[in-house]
Amino acid sequence: MSSSFFKPFSYFFIFLVILILFLTCFFGPTVLGDFSLNIEDTYYSFDMNSEYVWPTPGYTTITSYFGRRTSPTAGASSYHKGIDIGAPQGSKLIAVCDGKITFTGFLGGGGYTITLSVNNMKITYCHTSPTYIVKKGDIVKKGQIIGYVGPKNVYGVARKSI
Protein backbone atom coordinates (compact mmCIF):
# COMPACT_ATOMS: atom_id res chain seq x y z
CA MET A 1 0.00 0.00 0.00
CA SER A 2 2.83 2.40 0.74
CA SER A 3 4.20 2.11 -2.81
CA SER A 4 0.82 3.05 -4.30
CA PHE A 5 0.69 6.04 -1.97
CA PHE A 6 4.03 7.44 -3.27
CA LYS A 7 3.43 6.61 -6.95
CA PRO A 8 1.55 9.90 -7.72
CA PHE A 9 4.36 11.84 -6.03
CA SER A 10 7.01 10.20 -8.23
CA TYR A 11 5.02 11.13 -11.37
CA PHE A 12 4.67 14.68 -10.08
CA PHE A 13 8.42 14.86 -9.32
CA ILE A 14 9.37 13.61 -12.83
CA PHE A 15 6.93 16.09 -14.39
CA LEU A 16 8.41 18.92 -12.30
CA VAL A 17 12.00 18.06 -13.34
CA ILE A 18 11.04 17.95 -17.04
CA LEU A 19 9.16 21.25 -16.73
CA ILE A 20 12.15 22.96 -15.07
CA LEU A 21 14.53 21.68 -17.76
CA PHE A 22 12.17 22.86 -20.50
CA LEU A 23 11.79 26.32 -19.00
CA THR A 24 15.54 26.66 -18.42
CA CYS A 25 16.50 25.63 -21.95
CA PHE A 26 13.93 27.66 -23.84
CA PHE A 27 13.29 30.67 -21.66
CA GLY A 28 16.58 31.00 -19.75
CA PRO A 29 18.32 33.17 -22.38
CA THR A 30 15.31 35.50 -22.55
CA VAL A 31 15.13 35.88 -18.77
CA LEU A 32 18.89 36.39 -18.45
CA GLY A 33 18.87 39.03 -21.17
CA ASP A 34 21.76 40.09 -23.36
CA PHE A 35 25.15 40.16 -21.73
CA SER A 36 28.66 40.32 -23.04
CA LEU A 37 31.45 37.99 -22.07
CA ASN A 38 35.00 39.14 -21.82
CA ILE A 39 37.08 36.27 -23.17
CA GLU A 40 39.90 37.08 -20.79
CA ASP A 41 37.63 35.71 -18.05
CA THR A 42 37.50 32.26 -19.69
CA TYR A 43 40.09 29.92 -21.13
CA TYR A 44 41.12 30.86 -24.65
CA SER A 45 44.65 30.40 -25.86
CA PHE A 46 46.43 33.29 -27.52
CA ASP A 47 49.59 31.20 -27.74
CA MET A 48 50.80 30.87 -31.32
CA ASN A 49 51.70 27.24 -30.52
CA SER A 50 48.02 26.29 -30.09
CA GLU A 51 45.92 25.04 -33.00
CA TYR A 52 43.87 28.26 -33.30
CA VAL A 53 44.38 31.90 -32.36
CA TRP A 54 41.91 34.69 -31.67
CA PRO A 55 41.01 36.59 -34.90
CA THR A 56 41.11 40.14 -33.48
CA PRO A 57 44.25 40.75 -31.42
CA GLY A 58 43.55 43.07 -28.51
CA TYR A 59 39.75 42.94 -28.88
CA THR A 60 38.06 40.14 -26.97
CA THR A 61 34.52 41.26 -26.13
CA ILE A 62 31.83 39.17 -27.80
CA THR A 63 28.93 41.50 -28.62
CA SER A 64 26.58 38.88 -30.08
CA TYR A 65 26.67 35.14 -29.59
CA PHE A 66 25.98 32.14 -31.81
CA GLY A 67 22.36 30.94 -31.75
CA ARG A 68 18.98 32.52 -31.08
CA ARG A 69 18.99 36.26 -30.50
CA THR A 70 16.89 39.36 -30.89
CA SER A 71 17.37 40.49 -34.46
CA PRO A 72 19.44 43.72 -34.62
CA THR A 73 17.79 44.86 -37.86
CA ALA A 74 14.30 44.51 -39.30
CA GLY A 75 13.96 41.45 -41.50
CA ALA A 76 17.17 39.78 -40.27
CA SER A 77 17.16 36.24 -38.93
CA SER A 78 16.80 35.73 -35.21
CA TYR A 79 19.24 32.81 -35.49
CA HIS A 80 22.82 34.07 -35.53
CA LYS A 81 25.26 31.77 -37.34
CA GLY A 82 28.41 33.17 -35.79
CA ILE A 83 29.75 35.43 -33.08
CA ASP A 84 30.34 39.16 -33.27
CA ILE A 85 33.49 40.57 -31.74
CA GLY A 86 33.53 44.25 -30.84
CA ALA A 87 36.52 45.82 -32.59
CA PRO A 88 36.83 49.31 -34.11
CA GLN A 89 37.00 49.86 -37.84
CA GLY A 90 40.58 49.42 -39.10
CA SER A 91 41.55 46.78 -36.51
CA LYS A 92 43.64 43.83 -37.75
CA LEU A 93 42.01 40.53 -38.66
CA ILE A 94 44.33 37.54 -38.52
CA ALA A 95 44.06 33.98 -39.79
CA VAL A 96 42.92 31.80 -36.90
CA CYS A 97 44.73 28.81 -38.42
CA ASP A 98 46.63 27.74 -41.51
CA GLY A 99 44.34 27.46 -44.52
CA LYS A 100 43.24 28.66 -47.92
CA ILE A 101 41.24 31.77 -48.77
CA THR A 102 38.16 30.51 -50.63
CA PHE A 103 36.12 33.72 -50.90
CA THR A 104 36.57 37.48 -50.87
CA GLY A 105 33.67 39.69 -51.82
CA PHE A 106 30.37 41.17 -50.80
CA LEU A 107 28.04 38.73 -49.05
CA GLY A 108 24.71 40.45 -48.32
CA GLY A 109 24.09 40.98 -44.61
CA GLY A 110 27.69 40.06 -43.79
CA GLY A 111 28.96 42.95 -45.91
CA TYR A 112 32.45 42.58 -47.32
CA THR A 113 33.63 39.11 -46.39
CA ILE A 114 36.72 36.89 -46.30
CA THR A 115 36.37 33.11 -45.98
CA LEU A 116 39.25 30.94 -44.77
CA SER A 117 38.85 27.18 -45.34
CA VAL A 118 40.72 24.34 -43.71
CA ASN A 119 39.75 20.65 -44.01
CA ASN A 120 35.92 20.59 -43.83
CA MET A 121 35.64 23.88 -41.91
CA LYS A 122 35.06 27.43 -43.11
CA ILE A 123 35.86 30.49 -41.02
CA THR A 124 34.06 33.56 -42.30
CA TYR A 125 35.12 37.10 -41.42
CA CYS A 126 32.19 39.44 -42.05
CA HIS A 127 32.11 43.25 -42.06
CA THR A 128 35.69 43.46 -43.32
CA SER A 129 37.28 46.34 -45.15
CA PRO A 130 36.74 46.11 -48.92
CA THR A 131 40.44 46.79 -49.39
CA TYR A 132 41.47 43.13 -49.30
CA ILE A 133 44.99 42.04 -48.37
CA VAL A 134 44.34 38.46 -49.53
CA LYS A 135 42.62 37.05 -52.60
CA LYS A 136 40.78 33.82 -53.40
CA GLY A 137 43.27 30.97 -53.66
CA ASP A 138 45.89 32.42 -51.29
CA ILE A 139 47.40 30.04 -48.74
CA VAL A 140 47.71 31.76 -45.36
CA LYS A 141 49.46 30.90 -42.11
CA LYS A 142 48.03 31.10 -38.61
CA GLY A 143 48.52 34.63 -37.24
CA GLN A 144 48.98 36.26 -40.66
CA ILE A 145 47.09 39.52 -41.18
CA ILE A 146 44.40 38.81 -43.77
CA GLY A 147 42.36 42.00 -43.55
CA TYR A 148 40.97 44.79 -41.44
CA VAL A 149 37.66 45.41 -39.71
CA GLY A 150 35.42 47.37 -42.03
CA PRO A 151 32.30 49.45 -41.52
CA LYS A 152 29.32 47.84 -39.79
CA ASN A 153 26.91 49.06 -42.43
CA VAL A 154 27.63 49.28 -46.16
CA TYR A 155 25.50 51.27 -48.58
CA GLY A 156 25.48 51.60 -52.35
CA VAL A 157 26.90 48.18 -53.26
CA ALA A 158 25.36 46.94 -56.51
CA ARG A 159 23.76 43.49 -56.36
CA LYS A 160 25.08 40.93 -58.80
CA SER A 161 22.52 39.48 -61.19
CA ILE A 162 22.41 35.72 -61.43
Task: Answer whether residue 68 shows pLDDT above 80.
Answer: no
Report yes or no: 113 and 124 within 8 Å, Cβ to Cβ. Answer: yes
Rounded to whole angstroms, the Cα distance separating 148 from 12 reads 57
Q: What is the structure's pLDDT at 155?
A: 72
Whether the model clears a pTM of 0.75, i.e. scores above it, the answer is no
DSSP string of 28-52?
Answer: HHHHH----EEGGGS-----TTSS-
Pick from 109, 153, 116: which is nearest to 132 by CA? 116
**Domain 37-148, second-level architecture:** Distorted Sandwich (2.70)
Report yes or no: 69 and 36 within 8 Å, Cβ to Cβ. Answer: no
Q: Which one is predicted more confidently, 58 or 42?
A: 58
Positive or negative: CA dihedral 51, 57, 68, 115: negative
Report yes or no: 107 and 126 within 8 Å, Cβ to Cβ. Answer: yes
Q: What is the structure's pLDDT at 51?
A: 84
Q: What is the structure's pLDDT at 84?
A: 81
Report yes or no: 91 and 60 within 8 Å, Cβ to Cβ. Answer: no
pLDDT digits (tens, 9 = 90+) for 108-125: 778 899 999 999 899 999
Type of residue numbered 103? F
- Per-residue pLDDT band at 156 (split at 50, 70, 90): low
- Per-residue pLDDT band at 46 (split at 50, 70, 90): very low
| Domains of the chain, residue spans | 37-148
